[in-house]
Amino acid sequence: MTTTESRAAKAAKAEHDHAHMPQSPAAKSALNTLLEGNRRFVAGEPYYRRDITAARAAATEQHPIAAVFTCVDSRVTAESLFDCDFGHLIVVRTAGHVPDRAAVGSLAFAVSELDVSLVIVLGHERCGAIQLAVNSYRANPHGMTGNFLTDELHSMAAEGVEKSPDDPYHAAMLRQIDHTVVELRGDDQLAGAEVIGARYDLDHGTVRIVA
């Protein structure tokens, strides 16, 4: 094992040790289903074709397995990376998964009206919103900019830059996952579901639970 690999393995283990696992049988089962789907996706053996037959089969009602709150990034397509079909996932997206009112309201709808028992906050590597916030913080560490995204992500960017100067983007991304998870766990509207945090690796297609 090279030094780089062992450092990556250690970092992955530290993330995993920090991770929260769902407690209720429904949330556990939902998470297992999604992680199994991710394994199929990574192996290049997706089960679902997401074709017109599947769309028609799901046309009259929906029973989603989980809600995924993720970034708008064009490379982070939840149905593909969890190998899910029409009707399986409620997907809510904002840049940098900033939990604004509309996003939280949409997740609350999934929990209260569609009986979703699991909400996954899914961050990802090389997030443009996080990069924007980190660069903005470096240029202007003391003030708000008036830009919605950079202001919302300001404290995560600050922590990334100040505490992890070697890789502030990665650190700020993990911090934003934690921050989002804490916000959602503390919201009474989502009390019927468990919230966990995960990150998506663009290069390998893997989803790792981190919070």
- Smallest gap from Cβ 75 to Zn ion, in A, equals 9
- Smallest gap from Cβ 83 to Zn ion, in A, equals 21
- Name which of 104 and 202 has its Cβ closer to Zn ion: 202
- Alpha-carbon torsion angle 145, 130, 180, 35, nearest 10: 160
Tell whether 84 is in a known binding site.
no
Which positions from 82 to 101 touch Zn ion by CB under 5 A, shown as an x/- string?
--------------------
Tell whether 201 is in a known binding site.
no
- Smallest gap from Cβ 143 to Zn ion, in A, equals 24
- Smallest gap from Cβ 155 to Zn ion, in A, equals 17
Stretch that binds Zn ion, among 4-12, 123-131, 168-176, 187-195 (CB under 5 A): 123-131
Q: How far is CA 67 from CA 15, 23, 92, 147, in A?
A: 22, 17, 7, 28
Stretch that binds Zn ion, among 43-51, 119-127, 139-147, 170-178 (CB under 5 A): 119-127
Q: Which of residues 124-163 bind Zn ion (CB under 5 A)?
A: 127, 129
Q: Which residue has the tokens 């679902």?
A: 48
Considering the rule CB under 5 A, would residue 172 count as an interface residue with Zn ion? no
For residue 83, how many other CB atoms are within 10 A of its CB?
22
Tell whether 16 is in a known binding site.
no
Tell whether 167 is in a known binding site.
no
- Smallest gap from Cβ 73 to Zn ion, in A, equals 4
- Alpha-carbon torsion angle 152, 93, 96, 107, nearest 10: 60
Q: How far is CA 41 from CA 38, 82, 150, 167, 206, in A?
A: 5, 7, 33, 28, 9
Considering the rule CB under 5 A, would residue 122 count as an interface residue with Zn ion? no
How far is the C-alpha of 91 from the C-alpha of 88, rounded, in Å?
A: 10
Count of positions on this chain that bind Zn ion (CB under 5 A): 4
Whether the CB-CB separation of 143 and 119 falls below 8 Å is answered with: no
Considering the rule CB under 5 A, would residue 73 count as an interface residue with Zn ion? yes
Q: What is the DSSP string of 3-61?
A: HHHHHHHHHHHHHHHH-----SHHHHHHHHHHHHHHHHHHHT--S----HHHHHHTSS-
Tokens representing 41 are 């996706």
- Name which of 22 and 96 has its Cβ closer to Zn ion: 96
Given 27, 30, 66, 71, the residue binding Zn ion (CB under 5 A): 71
Which residues here bind Zn ion, judged by CB under 5 A?
71, 73, 127, 129
